Amino acid sequence: MPGTKSSGRPGGNPELKKYQFITDRDEPLTAKLSMRVAPSMLEELKKRENWQELVRQAIAAELKKKTRHPRVTSS
């Protein structure tokens, strides 16, 4: 019976490593980000193939740009 304590194989799957998700990234994508955008912007984004990666790359490029040219503010 799925979802009960007695369901599944006792001790889990001994070959779990064989079926786990593997990434080739330097850092795994485990953190979540939530933000609000205009509905039309989200619609346009979702039309693109692999739109999540596009957003990640845009954020990374902006962060890289900001670290190269930090904004000078006077206090």
pLDDT digits (tens, 9 = 90+) for 20-37: 777 788 888 889 999 999
Domain contains 50: yes
Q: Is residue 26 assigned to a domain?
A: no
The pLDDT of residue 39 is above 90: yes
User: What mean pLDDT do residues 38-53 have?
Assistant: 96
Q: Within a domain: residue 61?
A: yes
pTM over 0.95: no
More confident position, 7 or 15: 15
Residue 12 within any structural domain of the chain:
no
Q: Number of folded domains in the chain?
A: 1
CA atoms of 30 and 42, how far apart (whole Å) = 22
In a domain, 41, yes or no: yes
Asked if residue 2 has pLDDT above 60, the reply is no
Domain-embedded: residue 53: yes
Q: Residue 53's domain spans which residues?
A: 35-75
**Residue 70 domain-assigned?**
yes
Q: How far apart are CA 17 and CA 11, in angstroms?
A: 14
